């Protein structure tokens, strides 16, 4: 199609998760008037990595390019329509006594990336030992064995599913239409003409949706429609556990910073209104490889491996021991699309036309909800796109063990671990 595409172009966005809804929003705001979104579930979709109580919004990155983007996102989070869903509670980053060198080095790099940046001046406090951590965050009642790190006040969390839902409502106001559900929204295949032009998408109900431009925002599911992506994207899952606090237990936790002990895991302020506390343990994640070696998300996300449950309880014992034996009210795995270098992909699909991909979130894409779609608009309209996000020719390691600085442990296949076994405490 011509560049920039005419504003009347029919644009089909596949996936109404974090990147898809942001893309629809910015293209509609940028004047595109014929935008349709397909998703296999209503927003917020249970298959979206963004459908979660909350996500960390922070700007610490090894690469200053992402620090600047995340700072821009933090600014946008403080404006409509995002502001109601952003809580600027701050971000406590630590390692424990048992942390591998890699985690300690990664923390030191994070700290140096923000310490030297003017946007964080006055926002960072170094915390040399567990007592210093406790003085800053007195809600942490556990032993905090060997915890040391820093508190960054220029950060917080987003109420993730609520934010995506609200943005989808904004899209509707701007004239975007949504077709959702297993029949009318689930995309079964893309169709091309003999020149490689993508003609549109076929949904499970056998309806064919024509388009001038198809934008694939399917997150970890993207390679199922564009097999060439399997070489550069690995679907990987992490565990999430939720516990219920009472009002009396939650009140003292109000305003607690997001707590991330790099080698143990992280948790958030109890959800305002429901008092549900979300926790994730630190791990390298799981793949789900098929017979061809391609990792694809599992059909159900319910349940977590026993070892993740134990790891979440270890985190609780260190930080909030009063809740360490509390039953989970929900346990699930959450799928991301990892790239080798953790860079996103915003690119046209080679050897095709009228088809582009917005993916490769690598587990750090939610915070960018307010601005992802702006990058897509800039790529389409101005032809501008940072070199980091081009179509990648690098092949992923068979094991999926890319060397991501903030990850710990070894990637394993989810089929090799007992996901639904009961845990004895």
Ligand X SMILES: Cc1cc2nc3c(=O)[nH]c(=O)nc-3n(C[C@H](O)[C@H](O)[C@H](O)COP(=O)(O)OP(=O)(O)OC[C@H]3O[C@@H](n4cnc5c(N)ncnc54)[C@H](O)[C@@H]3O)c2cc1C
Binding site for ligand X (CB under 6 A): 14-20, 38-41, 45, 47-50, 55-56, 185-187, 217-221, 238, 240, 280, 334, 336-337, 359, 361, 363-367
Between residues 132 and 201, which has the closer beta carbon with respect to ligand X? Answer: 201
> What tokens were used for 92?
């406590």
Closest CA to 21 of 176, 236, 208: 176
Q: Is the bond preceding 279 in cis, omega lying within 30 degrees of 0?
A: no
Minimal CB distance residue for ligand X? 17
From the number of C-beta atoms within 10 Å of its C-beta (0-12, 13-18, 19+), residue 350 rates as exposed
Between residues 91 and 150, which has the closer beta carbon with respect to ligand X? Answer: 91
Question: Rounded to an integer, what distance in angstroms lies between the CA atom of residue 232 and that of residue 394?
Answer: 7
Report in angstroms how near the CB of residue 74 gets to ligand X at its nearest. 11
Between residues 132 and 256, which has the closer beta carbon with respect to ligand X? Answer: 256
Question: Rounded to an integer, what distance in angstroms lies between the CA atom of residue 28 and that of residue 18?
Answer: 16
Report in angstroms how near the CB of residue 79 gets to ligand X at its nearest. 18
Between residues 24 and 132, which has the closer beta carbon with respect to ligand X? Answer: 24
Report in angstroms how near the CB of residue 325 gets to ligand X at its nearest. 23
Q: Which helix (H) or strand (E) holds 170?
A: helix 160-173
Inter-residue contact 336 to 363 (CB < 8 Å): yes
From the number of C-beta atoms within 10 Å of its C-beta (0-12, 13-18, 19+), residue 131 rates as exposed
Report in angstroms how near the CB of residue 21 gets to ligand X at its nearest. 8
Inter-residue contact 90 to 152 (CB < 8 Å): yes
Report in angstroms how near the CB of residue 374 gets to ligand X at its nearest. 15
- The vertex-83 CA angle with 79 and 86, nearest 5°, equals 130
Report in angstroms how near the CB of residue 32 gets to ligand X at its nearest. 18
> What tokens were used for 395?
């092949």
> What tokens were used for 339?
């790239």
Inter-residue contact 103 to 263 (CB < 8 Å): yes
Question: Rounded to an integer, what distance in angstroms lies between the CA atom of residue 142 and that of residue 305?
Answer: 25
Between residues 130 and 285, which has the closer beta carbon with respect to ligand X? Answer: 285
Between residues 204 and 324, which has the closer beta carbon with respect to ligand X? Answer: 204
Per-position b or e across 243-252, b if 16+ CB within 10 A of its CB = bbbeeebbee
Between residues 9 and 45, which has the closer beta carbon with respect to ligand X? Answer: 45
Between residues 132 and 357, which has the closer beta carbon with respect to ligand X? Answer: 357
- The vertex-51 CA angle with 372 and 183, nearest 5°, equals 95
Report in angstroms how near the CB of residue 129 gets to ligand X at its nearest. 26
Report in angstroms how near the CB of residue 56 gets to ligand X at its nearest. 3
């Amino acid at each position: 199609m011509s560049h920039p595409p005419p504003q009347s172009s029919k644009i089909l966005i596949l996936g109404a998760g974090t990147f898809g809804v942001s893309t629809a929003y910015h293209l509609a705001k940028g004047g595109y008037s014929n935008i349709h979104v397909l998703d296999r579930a209503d927003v917020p979709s249970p298959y979206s990595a963004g459908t979660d109580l909350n996500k960390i919004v922070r700007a610490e990155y090894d690469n200053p390019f992402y620090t600047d983007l995340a700072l821009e996102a933090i600014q946008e989070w403080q404006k409509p329509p995002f502001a109601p869903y952003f809580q600027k509670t701050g971000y406590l980053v630590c390692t424990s006594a048992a942390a591998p060198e890699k985690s300690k080095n990664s923390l030191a790099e994070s700290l140096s990336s923000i310490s030297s940046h003017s946007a964080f001046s006055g926002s960072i406090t170094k915390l040399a030992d567990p007592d210093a951590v406790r003085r800053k965050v007195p809600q942490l009642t556990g032993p905090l064995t060997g915890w040391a790190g820093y508190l960054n006040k220029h950060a917080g969390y987003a109420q993730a599913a609520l934010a995506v839902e609200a943005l989808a409502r904004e899209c509707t106001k701007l004239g975007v239409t949504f077709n959702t559900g297993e029949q009318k929204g689930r995309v079964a295949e893309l169709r091309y003409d003999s020149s490689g032009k993508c003609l549109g998408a076929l949904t499970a109900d056998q309806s064919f949706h024509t388009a001038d431009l198809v934008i694939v925002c399917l997150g970890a599911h993207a390679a199922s429609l564009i097999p060439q992506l399997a070489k550069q994207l690995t679907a990987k899952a992490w565990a999430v556990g939720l516990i219920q606090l009472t009002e009396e237990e939650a009140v003292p936790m109000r305003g607690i910073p997001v707590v991330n002990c790099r080698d143990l895991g992280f948790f958030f302020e109890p959800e305002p209104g429901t008092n549900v506390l979300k926790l994730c343990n630190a791990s390298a994640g799981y793949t789900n490889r098929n017979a061809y070696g391609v990792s694809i998300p599992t059909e159900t996300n319910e349940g977590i491996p026993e070892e993740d449950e134990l790891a979440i309880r270890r985190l609780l014992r260190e930080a909030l021991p009063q809740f360490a034996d509390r039953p989970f009210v929900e346990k699930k795995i959450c799928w991301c699309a990892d790239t080798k270098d953790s860079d996103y992909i915003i690119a046209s699909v080679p050897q095709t036309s009228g088809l582009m991909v917005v993916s490769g979130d690598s587990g750090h894409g939610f915070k960018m909800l307010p601005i992802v779609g702006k990058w897509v608009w800039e790529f389409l309209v101005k032809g501008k796109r940072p070199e980091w996000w081009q179509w990648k020719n690098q092949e992923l390691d068979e094991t999926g063990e890319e060397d991501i600085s903030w990850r710990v442990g070894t990637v394993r296949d989810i089929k090799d671990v007992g996901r639904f076994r009961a845990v004895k405490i």
